[in-house]
Structure 1
Amino acid sequence: MNQTNRLPLVLILVGLLVSGPVLAHSEQHVAQHSAAVIKEQKPWGIAGDLEQVSRTIEIGMSDAMRFSPDQLKIRQGETIRFVHRNQGQLLHEFVLGTKAELDAHAAMMAKFPAMQHDEPYMTHVGPGQSGEIIWTFNRAGDFDFACLIAGHYQAGMVGRIRVLAE
């Protein structure tokens, strides 16, 4: 293969290598989970199904680094459809977890801001966009949610969920 024939292949490969980190936290990466969600039990619950939704909770995201509401009470066994509306000009995300899990993830995001991740307990929402998560809270306890984009968590973009025992 001569130099002229290799150029398109080289450009495609470079494009693939560069585009992943750029799209990891860009406006184009907005809460598009694949149809086949892997259901893995977490301490804070498990991915839910649309047919099982008990209720919908809307959560606003702002560039003031706040969620609204930022305190929720949910009954154990409820499947919640969270609808996230980004009212700001920056990309935000919503990640469910325990405080320890979120702290660890936030530290990784600070070190590797272009880190790619897409789990059923998180959504990335571009400016003026909306996203959603369907989650079943099958464990009682106090859990957290946060925007783990570097700087957002540290600025206080966090919330709390109390799951009340049946």
Structure 2
Amino acid sequence: MQLIPQISISALALTLVSGAALASGNHPGGHGHDSDAIGKPGIAAKALRTVQINMSDAMRFTPSSVDVKQGETVRFVVKNSGQVKHEMVLGTEKELKEHYEVMKKFPEMEHADPNMVTVAPGKAGEIVWQFTKAGKIDFACLQPGHYDAGMKGAVNVAGKVGAPKADSHADHKH
């Protein structure tokens, strides 16, 4: 009978470690964030533009759509004008949905990845990001309940003239 509690504790510990790994972007199998799809952490000195983003308790980002150019490094200054904690996380829609499911199970989990910032009420934070591919990059607040309430937005990355898009091979005729 003594083994049952130990097995349960071990299973719980494994679940918590797996959940923490998912939330930090280190998905099982070592895949991490698909940062190629969304760009890469930017160098603050190379950010030629600052975009102000406001997060509110109406579960909205203002603005909820941002236009950038491929290759551009942007400094997002993210202000929380609400009374509860909010965050801005850049990712693919699939990554954001997976991460959100983990956050619902472990709501107090803290993380510090370069593609996200968690901001206390009345405070501000920053993300500096370089957008390396043309297309749409999603962002969302993954605090439990916020994503479901519609707290999401998009960065529209305009491709360079003559540069191939990430999925340009799909246009070829056989």
Structure 2 counterparts to residues 13-28 of structure 1, below 5 A: none
Cα RMSD of the aligned pairs, angstroms, is: 1.1
Whole-angstrom distance in 2 between the partners of 1:87 and 1:116: 20
Deviations 1:96-147 (A, max 9, x none): 0010010100111111212232100000111110000100001111110000
Local SS of the residue matching 2:77: strand
1:82 to 70, 76, 91: 76
Local SS of the residue matching 1:117: coil
1:69 to 60, 63, 81: 63
Whole-angstrom distance in 2 between the partners of 1:133 and 1:116: 16
* Structure 2: 5+ residue stretches without partners: 1-33, 161-174
The residue type paired with residue 78 of structure 2 is H
Whole-angstrom distance in 2 between the partners of 1:120 and 1:50: 12
Change in 2 beyond 3 A, CA 1:64/1:118: same
Partner residue, 1:149:
143
* Structure 1: 5+ residue stretches without partners: 1-39
| 1:52 corresponds to 2:46 | yes
Deviations 1:44-70 (A, max 9, x none): 000011111020000000000000000
Whole-angstrom distance in 1 between the partners of 2:60 and 2:36: 25
Partner residue, 1:92:
86
- Deviating beyond 4 angstroms after TM superposition, the runs of 4 or more aligned structure 1 residues are none
Partner residue, 1:128:
122
Local SS of the residue matching 1:42: helix
The residue type paired with residue 143 of structure 2 is I
What TM-score do you get using the length of structure 2 for normalisation? 0.71
Whole-angstrom distance in 2 between the partners of 1:82 and 1:68: 12
Whole-angstrom distance in 2 between the partners of 1:86 and 1:106: 19
Local SS of the residue matching 1:93: strand
Bigger relative contact order, structure 1 or 2, given CA contacts below 8 A and separation 6+? Answer: 1
Amino-acid identity (%): 50
What TM-score do you get using the length of structure 1 for normalisation? 0.74
Whole-angstrom distance in 2 between the partners of 1:91 and 1:80: 23
Whole-angstrom distance in 2 between the partners of 1:103 and 1:143: 13
Structure 2 counterparts to residues 21-40 of structure 1, below 5 A: none
Deviations 1:9-40 (A, max 9, x none): xxxxxxxxxxxxxxxxxxxxxxxxxxxxxxx9
Whole-angstrom distance in 1 between the partners of 2:112 and 2:36: 15
Q: Number of residues paired by the alignment?
A: 127
Whole-angstrom distance in 1 between the partners of 2:70 and 2:124: 26
Partner residue, 1:140:
134
| 1:109 corresponds to 2:100 | no
